[in-house]
Every structure is written in structure tokens, then in C-alpha cells.
Amino acid sequence: MSLTTLCYIEQDGKYLMMHRIKKKNDINQEKWIGIGGHFEPDESPEECLLREALEETGLTLTSYRFRGLVTFLSDKWQTEYMCLYTADGFEGTLTDCNEGELVWVDKEEVMNLNLWEGDKIFFRLLNENAPFFSLKLRYEGETLVEAVLDGKSLLR
């Protein structure tokens, strides 16, 4: 089991997105995702979020919100529990990231990017300002075969 955070930093109608093109053997190769990563021993979700944001972007988050818990299941990787955040306040200067290219993307354009299918579900929830949610996503390879939101199936 893996514990991770993922955050979408917002500014001027845009999300800070990472195009994963730099890391070798990357499960997210060529995909567009947010920033974040794996918990270190004894970290809380917020400590992980703040550390990963600083490491990957050079930014110190000053305002953020825990939006949901996403459970990823797959026939190709171990189960992952991801704490999903958005942030709308930060300090510092954006730096280069060794895992991918950081790009500010208009929120209206995000769905046109090369995203995981399940990510499109939680982007919809974020854009609708949905209350805190639990989303289970099960993949076979790169194909989304199950999506369950707050205990109710989304795929029929």
C-alpha cells in the first residue's frame, strides 16, 4: 500500500500542471498531473503536501484545502491512497522540476490534456466545488474499469 498527496495549485483561472516527461520508468509517463508524492515516515498528509510542493515547485503553500481521498487499484501497481488537495495561496518563485515540466494551464483546457480517465472525474468534482469525497478508481493497464464515488458506482 502506498500513501501519497496530489495538489492542484490555482491562480488566475489556471491550474499548475506537471507534464511527466523527465523521469525514467514513470507510471505517469507523458501524462499531465498535479504536484505531490509519497509520504515519508511519520509525516501527516499536510506535511507531505507542503514538503512535496516545495521540492517540486520551489513554492511554499500558504492556503490549501483537503478535497478528497482517492483510492487507486490496478493490476500493474500496488494499491495507492491519495490525499487530494487544491491550493490558492503560495509564496516564492516557481522553479524547474526534475520529474516533469511545470505549466500553468487554463482550467477550461485541462480536460484536453493527456490525463488518466479517473483524473477527469476528480477534476469535475473540483470544478463543481463538491464537498469532501471518497473516490475509488480501478484500472486494468491504463483502462479505467471501475469508478466508485462515495460508495456509488459511476460506471455502468
- pLDDT classification of 55: cutoffs 50, 70, 90: very high
Q: How does strand 2-11 pair with strand 80-91?
A: parallel
Between residues 155 and 17, the one the model is more confident about: 17
Domain range summary for the chain, segments of one domain joined by +: 2-153
Class at the top of the CATH hierarchy for domain 2-153: alpha beta
Instruction: Give 63-122 pLDDT, tens digit per residue.
Output: 999 999 999 999 988 999 999 999 999 999 999 998 899 999 999 999 999 999 999 999
pLDDT above 70: percentage of residues in the chain: 96
